[in-house]
Amino acid sequence: MAADLTCPDCGTVYEAGPDEPWRCGCGRALEFTERPHPQGDPLPLHSLDTSEGLWTFFEFLPIEQHVTFYEGFTPTVEASDWDARFKLEYVFPTGSFKDRGATTTLSRAVELGVEKVLEDSSGNAGASIATYAARAGVDADIYVPADVKQSKLMTIQRADARPVRIDGTRADVTTACLKAVEGDANDGDSTGEGSAPYQTGEGWYASHAWNPAFYAGTMTFAFEVAAQQGWTVPDAVVLPLGHGTLFLGAYRGFSLLNEAGIVDGMPRLLGAQAAGYAPIVAALGGDTTDAEGERTDIADGIQITEPARGTEIVDAIEATDGDAIALGGDAIETALDRLHRNGFYVEPTCAIAPAALEQYRDDGVIDADDDVVVPLTGSGLKTL
Ligand SMILES: [Zn+2]
């Protein structure tokens, strides 16, 4: 039985099904009615069977395992040049952490009997959803910006998904996708009470920004970090911040472990946004451009001006004594060169986190002896 959906704001419950609303009638992103907690203490890593990757943590997940490559349990390695540990999230079937959410989202789609999924993405999430849809035998339409990177487009096409290229801004891509998700039954006014946007159009919205199934998957990032350091948490985690897919997943995962008494306390969650695309930094009252007042387009994976779960991201930052800062193109490019010279072949978007780590140290936000984990989120092989 697939878990039903509920709204954390107004409490409305929606029955699970292929036409379930993609968000609440009040406008808020939906959550599952169930939030499983593990029973008893987890095993130490050396006696944990991790052969099924992130599904090792099935007891924590409100979704049954249906669509998987046994992805996850990515390596965490020392990065002495940065005096930190890097978690290699680019070691996934499609080269990005988005596979954490795609395995759970497509598993949920199978639970619901969905025949076709729709997604909008700047590239990585689309490539991931397309790949897992292929694994599931489910059709997929992926809405992408007209200037999407060729390698990401290829991944989508070769998985026999249909890329739908949309001219305009990243927000225009989302609007076009939602129109197809909702079809004609919704009148476009889906913000009032009782007018939840049911998915009566072309397919089910496998959105990395809105679908709670995606965040169930990204939660496993936190479980792995904790397991890999003997069920403890680092002092801080520094992450790229667009829609907050990994950021909120990390928050939810560490919170669940903390509530269950498995770990003692929470890491500080420190976000990195690109100059000019920094709504969370703005919400916190920080500088949203670089030193010259410019924006940068190098971090194409996080050019999000209206994150679906912005309030939750700010709450997570405040709850963990975290922060968010905006980084300019020079800082990101310098960090990217340094990563590549050290053998970390990653994409530009993910270099923003190590760049932010340096800035946080310079600003005195992170102390020299703090234990810091930084996820490297996407492979350089898909940069072109
Ligand atoms: Zn609501």
3-state secondary structure labels for all residues of the chain: CCCCEECCCCCCEECCCCCCCCCCCCCCCCEECCCCCCCCCCCCHHHCCCCCHHHHHHHHCCCCCCCCCCCCCCCEEEEHHHCEEEEECCCCCCCECHHHHHHHHHHHHHHHCCCEEEEECCCHHHHHHHHHHHHHCCEEEEEEECCCCHHHHHHHHHCCCEEEEECCCHHHHHHHHHHHHHCCCCCCCCCCCCCCCCCCCCCEECCCCCCHHHHHHHCHHHHHHHHHCCCCCCCEEEEECCCCHHHHHHHHHHHHHHHCCCCCCCCEEEEEEECCECHHHHHCCCCCCCCCCCCCCCCHHHCCCCCCCHHHHHHHHHHCCCEEEEECHHHHHHHHHHHHHCCCCECHHHHHHHHHHHHHHHCCCCCCCCCEEEEECEEHHHCC
Does 31 share its domain with 131?
Answer: no
Does 304 share its domain with 353?
Answer: yes
Range of the domain at 162: 102-210
Instruction: Report residues of the chain scoring pLDDT below 70.
Output: 185-194
pLDDT of residue 37: 84
Give 13 Cα–ligand 1 centroid separation in angstroms: 9
Give 24 Cα–ligand 1 centroid separation in angstroms: 5
pLDDT of residue 195: 83
Does 282 share its domain with 344?
Answer: yes
Domain end among 184, 210, 236: 210
Does 41 share its domain with 143?
Answer: no
Give 210 Cα–ligand 1 centroid separation in angstroms: 13
Give 63 Cα–ligand 1 centroid separation in angstroms: 22
Give 304 Cα–ligand 1 centroid separation in angstroms: 23
pLDDT of residue 192: 47
pLDDT of residue 263: 94
Give 212 Cα–ligand 1 centroid separation in angstroms: 14
Give 320 Cα–ligand 1 centroid separation in angstroms: 25
User: What is the pTM (predicted TM-score) of this model?
Assistant: 0.95
Domain end among 167, 191, 210: 210
Q: What is the CATH number of the domain that holds 317?
A: 3.40.50.1100
Give 15 Cα–ligand 1 centroid separation in angstroms: 14
Give 379 Cα–ligand 1 centroid separation in angstroms: 37
pLDDT of residue 186: 57
Does 223 share its domain with 327?
Answer: yes
pLDDT tens digits along 308-325 = 999 999 999 999 999 999
Does 266 share its domain with 371?
Answer: yes
pLDDT of residue 133: 98
Does 204 share its domain with 217?
Answer: no
Give 238 Cα–ligand 1 centroid separation in angstroms: 31
Does 332 share its domain with 301?
Answer: yes
Does 2 share its domain with 97?
Answer: yes
Does 230 share its domain with 247?
Answer: yes
Give 25 Cα–ligand 1 centroid separation in angstroms: 6
pLDDT of residue 40: 77
Does 61 share its domain with 81?
Answer: yes
Give 29 Cα–ligand 1 centroid separation in angstroms: 8
Domain end among 195, 210, 225: 210
Give 356 Cα–ligand 1 centroid separation in angstroms: 35
How many domains are contained in the chain?
A: 2
Give 294 Cα–ligand 1 centroid separation in angstroms: 37
Does 81 share its domain with 190?
Answer: no
